[in-house]
Structure 1
């Protein structure tokens, strides 16, 4: 009688490795950088406009329009390079390996500055709620960098934690927006009706500063190299979903917060606070404001983590890139 053997069923993936959880962790952790830019890009634009709130919404609308074009570009790059590399891989293939160092250098600077700016902004968010901590600003920022660097050692679990931080900020931002619809204007900070130039020139000069909102848009095209458990179609799908989800979240929150800041009259804040903090203070109760500041600080940590993920992902993708002759 022939011997019958049975093949044990393939073990079901654990919760942390199921496709939906993996997509949640990847998408919301990687999008943290552009989402966090909302916390300072609107204020940066207003400062460049010399506090002219009337020009703030057109400026941010122009920035969101450019972000749409960037997303469309990276949508194509993710399709062409599902193993990662993004703009650097495309440049190298089109113009030679030497030319690839231009986007590589730009991205390295972007990753380093994102970590530094996010940590500094996170420290400012903490100080905005507890002003007595102002003398410890630098120490707080350095400690935040150390915390983020440590969190990235936990791989997918770390990404999940940072993704939860991002979702928490989005939820509190929605709460601030909804609450702000039912309060009367509460002017705060410094405003002006004179941007220093004609409206068109003022918007053009503020635009480069406001483009801080676009930092991290390229991250999915590099970070997908870290998804070794997926095949090329899976990485392509994850990258594209993340790009368009990022646009929906960032575009909506940016324009909504900008419109609310204009309606409530929230101008350029003093040095120990931020515009988004003053907006939340004017629009919500103290407990919600406290929660919003906490989630803002956590979001900025998550943004720094996205650079810790995208940087190695970029180098990993480029290191395994092969020429047409197989070398």
Structure 2
């Protein structure tokens, strides 16, 4: 086994057979941290965004924070209830994409897919960037290096997911549950101290917050409504990741739909409880947060804050105040929050590859996205998602507040089309269903989806109005780009399928076969190629030699005659010392002279046993094959000749119990272990 294979096995683990796919399915206790970590982790930044938006009107506007939190919780409840209907109706894992495609058509399905793909990439970028910010607040040495920290975290997360969904879920379960216990424990402790009148103030409570010009006491009612709408749209970041469970139903153990629906319910209860607790505590403890680019609006006793002031996140400030006398508690909260923000991206690493595989199956994405890797994960989708997320992290400096403006639009587009599709789904089935009990369930489900559509439509309008010029237009452009790309890929696959469809003309035999054997010198590979070509009994057979040196050509002709070879030798003169072009032009001339015939080109090739030998041989043959592939009516056949090094390698590896694939032997990549008799029988 080569170094590359050893490294791959260390990183990814042993290969899994396709029949072992059932072993990778998840129990609810593992599925919750795998699919719900994104929505749960939004507790770490959704409250911050609400306070940052309200800060434009000064600290007095924070009185609206808990009402906005309740509005977000109501929308989340409606969305979760709607998706519980979806996982029962469409358990195949297509989620919003399948619902929209089946009920609204391919265009709506492609729109949903483009929105989800963008949202998954942003989920990774936002979560990892926010985690990097938490890491920097806990470890001052990481300040100013958030981009590097975030990029490394994406790569580590990618490597973990390449090992397979079950292994990554087991690894992520402990920190996810630790986060839930830590935040709920902190909230319970804080609310207890609030009830007893012993709730401390956070560090930012001593600062003075200056309203943004145009806001504050002089703000009109219309401006206040717009500000509250902006804060609400930012707080709706808490809903991102809810749809991931509907896309991941196939990963659950049986009964899949019921387990997925139960996980959705648990997600909603936990996320809403944590979010509202953080918002209430932040308000009662005097939290003051502003946009990181507007720190000059914070002052202390009328004096500007010192240069390099680091504004900590809401959870960090709350934990610092509550555990002032118990520092391990503070570090526990900050650590598990930073970890969960990194792991929250795992939701996207599970959803994006599955959606990519479904799109590949339907012809809207490259078919490589539908291939499972050694560990039965969709490896190509995982790698592509990681690359796109790192690009965003670098472009936006790993700043969550800048990235959050691009967020939400895509997920609410998919929410709306999914709910509309579910309404049409129930309406269609009600036309044929006669069982009264089933009809009542369908009516109830349709009402739930109608309420979900109404609420998500309102949120989408608010998000588009309040965030369009703040960066949402970039998301819309990205969605449009994905949409056009997917439609183009689908159109290409359709055209190829039409072009490759078999018809009666494909049964017609060619009128003649003109075979040519390429000759570089008269040696064993050439003689083997001539013999093989002759055995195929073509209508015409000739050797072809490209002459770039008169003396070498004369020696070859003399040797040809001396050996009394009964095959004619055609000499192509090349005054500019080109080897490939004369052969291609000659083959095309033969094809042009007999359009219904074929030209068969036989190319002698050396089979080598070491990778570096491949660099020294067969380069002209590779270039020639590359050119002839584009020549219609020209067939290319490689005639291999094994050099001694290939035999030595084969003998050595056979002694060591390694099976050598022919293609690997030719390329000098002798790595794959010989299957034993038991494996062959399987």
* TMscore range, shorter length: 0.7 to 0.9
Identify the residue that residue 258 of structure 2 maps to in structure 1: 237
Deviation at 1:281, TM superposition (A): 0.8
Alignment equivalent of 1:32, drawn from 10, 31, 37? 37
Residue in structure 1 matched with residue 122 of structure 2 by the alignment: 113
Measured after TM superposition, the shift of residue 314 of structure 1 is 2.3
Determine the C-alpha separation between the residues in 2 that align with 1:204 and 1:173. 27
How many residues align? The count is 302
Distance verdict in 2 for CA 1:201–1:188, change over 3 Å: farther
| 1:162 aligned partner | 172
Residue by residue over 1:168-202, the C-alpha shift from the partner in whole angstroms, topping out at 9 and shown as x without a partner, is 10111122113323243314336578485545443
Quote the Cα distance in structure 2 between the aligned partners of 1:159 and 1:82: 20
Alignment-derived partner of residue 122 in structure 1: 131
Moved more, 291-300 or 197-206: 197-206
CA distance in 1, matches of 2:333, 2:180: 10
SS at match of 1:268: coil
Show CA shifts across 1:56-101 (max 9, x none).
1111110111011111111111111111111111110112112201
2:244 alignment counterpart: 219
SS at structure 2 position matched to 1:135: coil
Map of 1:298 onto structure 2: 339
Root-mean-square deviation (Å): 2.4
SS at match of 1:49: helix
Work out the CA distance in 1 between the residues paired with 2:98 and 2:186.
Answer: 41
Partner residue of 1:257?
Answer: 278
2:241 is paired with a residue whose SS is coil
SS in 1 for 2:329: helix
Which residues of 2 match residues 77-156 of structure 1 at below 5 A? Answer: 77-155=86-164, 156=166
CA distance in 1, matches of 2:53, 2:322: 24
Deviation of the 1:42 alpha carbon: 0.4
* Structure-2 change in CA distance of 1:94 and 1:150 (3 Å): same
Query: 1:288 aligned to 2:329?
Result: yes
Residue matched to 2:663: none
Contact 2:37 2:176 in 1 (8 A): yes
The structure with the largest alpha-carbon Rg is: 2
Match of 2:447 in 1: none
Q: 1:175 aligns with which of 181, 185, 191?
A: 185
Equivalent pair of 1:63/1:210 in contact (CA under 8 Å): yes
Task: Report Cα offsets for 1:2-25 as digits up to 9, x if no partner.
Answer: xxxxxxxxxxxxxx9699x72211
The aligned runs of 1:170-209 (5 Å cut-off) are 170-180=180-190, 181-182=192-193, 183-189=198-204, 191=209, 194=216, 198=221, 199-209=224-234
Shift of 1:313: 2.1
Kindly tell me: are residues 143 and 220 of structure 1, through their superposed partners in 2, closer, same or farther at Cα, counting changes over 3 Å? same
Deviation track 1:214-252 (CA, whole Å, cap 9, x = no partner) reads 00010000122334xx45xx2201210111111000001
CA–CA distance in structure 2, aligned partners of residues 300 and 108 of structure 1: 19
| Distance in 1 of aligned mates of 2:231 and 2:87 | 30
Gap runs ≥5 in structure 1: 1-15, 322-327
Structure 2, unpaired ranges of 5+: 1-21, 291-308, 363-682
Q: Retained in 1: the 8 A contact 2:202–2:317?
A: no
**Which has more strand, going by share of residues?**
2
Contact 1:121 1:297 in 2 (8 A): yes
Q: Which has the higher helix share?
A: 1
Contact 2:202 2:318 in 1 (8 A): no
Contact 2:289 2:311 (C-alpha < 8 Å) held by counterparts: no
